[in-house]
Amino acid sequence: MIAFQKTLISSHDQTAAKATRHDYELILLTILQTILDRFERNREYPFVDTKLSVFTGGDFAEEADIGLDFKGRNAIYMWIQGRGIESLAGHARWLPSCSLLTALEKSQLHKRILHMTDVVLTGLEDIRRHNGGHLWFLMTPDGKPFTMGSDGRRQIISINESPYTISDVFCSKGFLAAAALLNHRDSIDEARRYFRAVLQAIADDATISDQVCFDPKNRPIRLPGKFFHGPRMLALGGLATWARILPADAEEAFACGERFVRQVVERHINHGQHQGTQRYDMCEAVDAQGQPWIENGMVIADPGHGCEFIGLAAKFLLVLQASGKATASQLELLRECRQLFPKVLAQNFRNGYNPHGGICKTYDLLARRPINSDMPWWNLPETIRAAAELAVLCPGHKSPELWEMLAMCSNAFLNNFVNPAMHLMSHQTLDENAKPIDVIPASADADPGYHTGLSIIDFLECLGA
């Protein structure tokens, strides 16, 4: 039996970071096998099923009154489904490099991934066709979108005429990764059309958030003239995948990604143009004049989102760099980001890191203090990925600073968040004292190998052999 060792990093260099490979490969495999097992136990439920409590390991209870059910198997989170199929594709790509499995075990797991991906993608494609080409945060198993009414009950809605949503962002890039894994030409063509339409909506600042927020401390206010960086950030991971899996489309993907990186850098990162915040701060939202959005006297940052942006942008830039096809403008972007990104990552990390081991959810850039001191799990693996990628992208930077951030995040993640008794999944949220609390940061479902899995796969790839 392979044991989880909880390997902590004691020095700030790549060699020390490599000592965690065993633990992280075990986390990846255990979560992957759990997802596959849960799918295969119920052939009549064609969805990614992570509807379980990381506290107890038990499945979420089914509500007797379905109108109040926002957690059970009759409430399908499309963020989870899109993330899940992208995760399956990413794990399939990673399997050949896994050191814990035999060739036969890798082949068997790969076949299981292909089957599950095929079933889930086919079902999601059908649901999307019946909803005017859109998907929504919460949907019934037969594809009816719903939200939470003012009475706290389900409210069925129509999305046939909806703008593209954050669910569409997650699912369009997930569809593309899954279709390419399966090598289904018709699905690839349709996913490409879907992703292109979503990218255009992002470029036009025309996407909407479809999230039902279950945490009263985590309810971002969305108003006309308030522009978030999130959709562009999320798209960058999909653009990196698109350029890698469909090289014929790489020029198009690179051009779009260059625009998105520049827009986020110019609008959301302080180079001295933002009033009242520190250099290299990154705010969640800006106004039409490009100034930080002020809300109740605060400029809100999500330090984890800032670190996630650096990681996804660096992922995109590494694919661009490796292609050897960067234009003059893109080469200049690479040079600029090599200088800028380590400073932005360090500033976001300093703003959000709690010495108990985690990164706070939101931070006021004016008062220089946490707003929501709760610590979600996802921002630690995202920061691990970002630091590892910058060590590769920015070889001239003083890398000990990057490895120090990576070590602090890895130690906090393995020590505080990972639950060895529950499939090595992570507690979704800790309080400011690093104690697990039953708070839903986005969806009730556990992570389907997306924030944890895909971030750690990229980290391991950066470590090399």
Kindly compute the dihedral angle of the four CA atoms of residues 102, 106, 109, 114, in this order, to the nearest 10 degrees.
Answer: -170
Predicted confidence (pLDDT) per residue in 154-212, tens digit: 999 999 999 999 999 999 999 999 999 999 999 999 999 999 999 999 999 999 999 99
pLDDT over 70 at 465, yes or no: no
Which range of residues forms the domain containing residue 205? Answer: 14-57+67-463
Query: Given the structure tokens 């255990």, which residue do they identify?
Result: 30
Residue 360 placed within a domain: yes
Residue 7 placed within a domain: no
Mean pLDDT value of segment 141-166: 96
- Report strand pairing: 375-376 vs 362-364: unpaired
Instruction: Provide the pLDDT for residue 213.
Output: 86
Instruction: Assign 55 a pLDDT band (cuts: 50, 70, 90).
Output: confident
Instruction: Provide the pLDDT for residue 1.
Output: 56
DSSP 292: B
Share of the chain above pLDDT 90, in %: 90
CA–CA gap between residue 360 and residue 374 (Å, rounded): 5
Please count the residues of the chain: 465
Instruction: Provide the pLDDT for residue 457.
Output: 98
Strands (E) located in 128-221: 138-139, 146-148, 154-156
Give the 3-state secondary structure of residue 208: strand
Cβ neighbors of 286 (< 8 A, separation 6 or more) are 226, 227, 267, 268, 292, 293
| Chain mean pLDDT for the chain | 95
User: Encoding tokens for residue 266?
Assistant: 């110019």
User: Encoding tokens for residue 463?
Assistant: 């470590």
Tell me how crowded residue 352 is: count the other CB atoms within 10 A of its CB. Answer: 25
Q: What are the backbone dihedrals phi and psi of residue 55, each rounded to the nearest 5 degrees, phi first?
A: -70, -45
CA–CA gap between residue 12 and residue 9 (Å, rounded): 8
Mean pLDDT value of segment 95-109: 97
Residue 9 placed within a domain: no
Higher pLDDT, 82 or 2: 82
Predicted confidence (pLDDT) per residue in 234-254, tens digit: 999 999 999 999 999 999 999
309, 282 Cβ separation under 8 angstroms: yes
CA–CA gap between residue 460 and residue 311 (Å, rounded): 14
Share of the chain above pLDDT 70, in %: 99
Mean pLDDT value of segment 325-337: 97
Half-sphere exposure of 242 (CA within 13 A, CB side): 28
Residue 1 placed within a domain: no
Single out the residue of 187, 265, 201, 252 nearest to residue 231, CA to CA.
201
Helix axes 78-94, 455-463, angle to 10 degrees: 20
Residue 4 placed within a domain: no
Residue 3 placed within a domain: no
CATH number for position 367:
1.50.10.10
Instruction: Provide the pLDDT for residue 140.
Output: 97
Residue 5 placed within a domain: no
Instruction: Assign 440 a pLDDT band (cuts: 50, 70, 90).
Output: confident
Residue type, 463: L
Residue 65, judged by CB atoms within 10 A of its CB (0-12, 13-18, 19+), counts as exposed
Q: How many domains does the chain have?
A: 1
Among 48-52, 57-61, 318-322, 375-379, whose mean pLDDT is lowest? 57-61
Instruction: Provide the pLDDT for residue 214.
Output: 85
Mean pLDDT value of segment 357-377: 97
CA–CA gap between residue 328 and residue 334 (Å, rounded): 10
Query: Given the structure tokens 């009154």, which residue do they identify?
Result: 65
Helix axes 230-245, 303-323, angle to 10 degrees: 30
Give the 3-state secondary structure of residue 227: strand
Query: Given the structure tokens 């669910």, which residue do they identify?
Result: 167
Instruction: Assign 46 a pLDDT band (cuts: 50, 70, 90).
Output: very high
Mean pLDDT value of segment 255-271: 98
Residue 402 placed within a domain: yes
Predicted confidence (pLDDT) per residue in 385-415, tens digit: 999 999 999 987 777 899 999 999 999 999 9
